[in-house]
Amino acid sequence: MRVAHVRDNKMNPWTFQREECLADRLDMTLFVGERNDFDVSRMRIPKQVLRHREEFLLAARNPRLAWERMRRAPFSRADYYYHSLRKHLEGYDIAHSTDLIRSAYTLAELKGELGYRMVLSWWQNIPHWSLFDARGAFYRQSVIPATDAFVPYAETTARALIMEGIPREKVHVVYPGVDIKRFTPSPRDAVLVRQLGIPDDAFVVTFVGKLTSAKGTYILPYALKLLADEGFTRVHAVLAGRGAQRATLEKLVRLWGMADRFHFVDFLGYHEVHRVHTLGDAFVMPSYATMTNQEQFGFGLAEAMACGKAVIASTTGGLPEVVGDAGLVFPAGDFAALAQHLRRLIQDRPYREDLGAKARARAEALFDAHKTADALYAVYQRVVA
């Protein structure tokens, strides 16, 4: 079975951990744009780099088709390496993409000519979110009818698809995979502790992800300020990631005199990010919903669970489903409720350790990349059959 994976310029090791587990069972190729945002050089799956020069030359050989592609789209850059994929995807059984993006649209447009089956991973858990997005609404016209199997990352996401009218038999929930050998209970990374200047007796709260408004990280200083006012002054926070809100967060913690207790770590690649998870006594995923987006899964959350950490998540989107009974949840934006959860974890170490053990067990049962890979393989078999 030949399987092609195409995902605009967002190909990354996090979302392809389960696919990596299938590298020896399938003839699989990652089609990676030359301007891809992430380093995928260490991934075992063979790669085909899509280059602008080749795309331009192929378009020049067939100017009528190139003109027709541009004429049909109501905006520029609607396609994703259309001519290159038209050349390289011949003979594949399955083309797998993600959500209503350029690559999914291009695959849908090429499907009739090349004859593969189309599988679509689905992140959005807000029904008909594309009504609020002109590009999404345009892509939907081609992508939804062409898709043979939808693979949402959680049951909450599947519910949104079914509400949109997608037949239940086309919807197959497969959780993203986590490498539970890489993300496993481990002692604190001594080098990182020393670099950040974290005291040995500190209670450390961690967050891994984008520092954007939708991630809700702005409430962490509020929660820690409430705790500090109660005398919990040994609580430190480590936030790993990039984003537009970092400057504001740094300004806020300086204003409250807590800059020495907030430690910002720049973006870490997949093969290093587990070091941050070793530091934490608790992991917090405080995301909140917008009109067109909710947190669908939370890779950092699942990784922290695999590391045996007590986890706290907001009630946004699919986060409660990921946490289950192995962690704590609080209403999105309610920093007082978050502070209350943290207070209990600080004061009750046996309870914290029990939650960490439950989190690890849940990650092993549901998010182990080898198990989710088997589920995805079963979807592929069903589609080609």
Q: In the chain, what are the domains?
A: 2-177+369-384 (3.40.50.2000), 190-367 (3.40.50.2000)
C-alpha to C-alpha distance for 181 and 179, rounded to whole angstroms: 5
pLDDT less than 50: residues of the chain: none
Query: In the chain, where does DSSP find H-type helix?
Result: 17-20, 52-61, 63-72, 82-88, 102-114, 134-146, 155-163, 190-196, 219-229, 246-255, 274-279, 299-306, 319-323, 335-347, 349-362, 369-384
**Measured in whole angstroms, how far is the alpha carbon of residue 174 from the centre of its chain?**
13
CB 305 within 8 A of CB 282: no
Question: Residue 126 has what pLDDT?
Answer: 86
Angle at 98 between CA 208 and CA 313, to 5 degrees: 30
Question: Residue 313 has what pLDDT?
Answer: 97
Question: Residue 319 has what pLDDT?
Answer: 95
pLDDT tens digits, 8-33: 999 999 889 999 999 999 999 999 99
Question: Residue 220 has what pLDDT?
Answer: 95
C-alpha to C-alpha distance for 122 and 161, rounded to whole angstroms: 9
pLDDT tens digits, 121-143: 998 888 888 888 888 899 999 99
Closest CA to 77 of 105, 47, 118: 105
What does the buried/exposed string (b/e) look like for 262-287 if buried means 16 or more CB atoms within 10 Å of the residue's CB?
Answer: bbbbeeeebeebbbbbbbbbbbbbbb
Question: In what helix (H) or strand (E) does residue 237 lie, and over which residues does it extend?
Answer: strand 235-240
Question: Residue 293 has what pLDDT?
Answer: 80
Question: Residue 291 has what pLDDT?
Answer: 78
Question: Residue 336 has what pLDDT?
Answer: 97
CB 143 within 8 A of CB 104: yes
Average predicted confidence (pLDDT) for the chain: 94
pLDDT tens digits, 80-124: 999 999 999 999 999 999 988 999 999 999 999 999 999 999 988
**Measured in whole angstroms, how far is the alpha carbon of residue 75 from the centre of its chain?**
27
C-alpha to C-alpha distance for 376 and 383, rounded to whole angstroms: 11
Render 255-312 in DSSP notation, one character per residue. Answer: HTT-GGGEEEE----TTTTHHHHHH-SEEEE-----SS------HHHHHHHHTT-EEE
